[in-house]
Structure 1
């Protein structure tokens, strides 16, 4: 199952930017490892924002939930991270479905 993840990262007033970068560096290692493993299809950092967008391929929503709970940024700064999750359908599958409906 494909999911679009939209991470919005904030940090508390008592945390320095360097402390946030230390967490984010650890998160980047995990994210790039997941990309090499094929779990992360691709990911992007939005310019000028503390926002990351990812497309992931996991077998179930339960697996995605477990992965999100175990991310370093969620463990160390989770109360300041908002993740919007959208389930995706491959466009090719949608197009085939639409065409088959025309033929019915």
Structure 2
């Protein structure tokens, strides 16, 4: 199952920028490891914003929930992170469905 994840990261007034960078470094290591393992299809940092976009491929909604709750950035500062999730469908599968619907 493919999902588009859009992470919006804020940080509290008591957290220094260095602390944010330390957490984000741990998150980057985990994210790049997941990309190498094939769970993360691709990953982007939005320029000029504290925002990251990922496409992930997991076996279930439950797995997505478990992964997102255990990410370093969520464990360390989850109250300041919002994740917008969109389920994705491969366009090729959609096109095949449309073709079948046209035939009916």
User: 1:30-85: CA deviations, max 9, x gaps?
Assistant: 00000000000000000000000000000000000000111000000000000000
TM-score of the two chains, using structure 1 as the length reference: 0.99
Distance 1:84 1:101 in 2: 31
Identify unmatched segments of 5+ residues in structure 2. Answer: none
2:69 aligns with 69
> Which residues of 2 match residues 1-104 of structure 1 at below 5 A?
1-104=1-104
Cα RMSD of the aligned pairs, angstroms, is: 0.3
TM-score of the two chains, using structure 2 as the length reference: 0.99
Identify unmatched segments of 5+ residues in structure 1. Answer: none
Q: How many residue pairs were aligned?
A: 104
